[in-house]
Amino acid sequence: MCTHRVHDTQVSTWRALNNQTNTLKRGDSLKIASWNLFFTSRGPATRATAALDHLRTLFGQEPHNLVVMFQEVCQESLRVILEDRWTQDNFSVTDVKPPPFYYREEWNDVREENVGSMPTRHFTLMIIPRDLRVSNGFRVPFVSESERDVLVVHLPVSEEEGPNEPEGILRLRTTHLESLGLGYEYRFRQPATISALLKSELVQGRKVYSGLVGGDMNPTLASEHDDHRNPEIDLKDVWEDKLAPAPPALRPFYKDFTYGKALGNTWGYQSKGRPYQDYGSRLDKFLYTGPIETFPVREAQDTTGRLGRFGIGLKTRVGLNDVWVSDHFGIAIGIKMI
């Protein structure tokens, strides 16, 4: 179980979240951003600082109803996130220390003795508006060779009219599916598990109204972009909520200076030694179920359909060199509870 925490300025520490009175209502909107911070590149702390600065520049010093989902957070970048004043002033966090590595050989293998004593090398993290009521949060480990799981957060939802007492739940998830070279079988079973979690009908006696997962889905095969339609998954892809324009025709050996905008690409342009035209991919996605209306957010660097991108061309100084803040672009979407 994840204990949501907010920063207490009086004692300069992160304390358990309690007594939050602001509950989401039907008709309310959230802005949701997702970003893989790329833990293996040099200077994770410096790059995390630059990432937070970028988010603050885009969404403002006092962002309204912003949820940020991070992937590939490591101990150094977590420390930066927790010590950042913007985070402290505006958000609650799902973790204040790296979660333990959970070894799981089979999908029904959830034995407690499989929880390791060592923290995982990198993990997912979610930051939520600090005044927003959170019911609970937890992690579900995958069968994985790469220490992967899904992080789950429940936000209570009340009706538009009447008392503030919540009657339902919005389920938010973030995940980082199995790494590129480790096989399609993992990457199909993992979102099937996420789908089952998103669609469960009751949580603590409350109805689950809707659910959304954002993160690095790591599709390597063209067919994987259709997996969300498989009956075992059956989720909607935000990218498909509005028809995208036709990609521009490129002359041979010409670079795409839109960085794959018309394709919704999020990876391949900021990876050392990766040719633009050969490796651009739409690895990062938002998938959802239930009565959610999606809309573009104006804060994104660019937008195609309803999906925004950010972190494009973003570099920071590490030692004597300018390095990419991440090899991934971030993605952003607005959602409205209907």
Structurally, the chain folds into a number of domains equal to 1
Instruction: Provide the pLDDT for residue 179.
Output: 83
Q: Which one is predicted more confidently, 104 or 244? A: 244
Residue 189 has pLDDT above 80, yes or no: yes
Average pLDDT of the chain?
Answer: 88
Q: What is the CATH number of the domain that holds 275?
A: 3.60.10.10
Distant-in-sequence, close-in-space partners of 215: CB < 8 Å, separation ≥ 6: 34, 36, 69, 71, 124, 173, 174, 175, 176, 177, 284, 285
Task: Report how far apart, in Å, the C-alpha atoms of 200 and of each of 111, 177, 208, 293, 299 are.
Answer: 22, 21, 7, 20, 33
Average the pLDDT over 146-172 and give the result.
85
**Which residues of 75-134 form beta strands (DSSP E)?**
91-93, 100-102, 115-119, 123-129
Q: Which domain holds residue 296?
A: 5-337
Average the pLDDT over 285-298 and give the result.
97
Dihedrals φ, ψ of 191, to 5°? Answer: -65, -25
| pLDDT band, very low/low/confident/very high, at 104 (cuts 50, 70, 90) | low
Asked if 187 and 177 touch (Cβ cutoff 8 Å), the reply is: yes
Residue 110 has pLDDT above 50, yes or no: no
Residue 85 has pLDDT above 50, yes or no: yes
pLDDT tens for each residue of 10-30:
999 999 988 777 889 999 999
Residue 155 has pLDDT above 90, yes or no: yes
Which range has the top average pLDDT, 133-147, 164-178, 228-242?
228-242
Average the pLDDT over 265-281 and give the result.
72
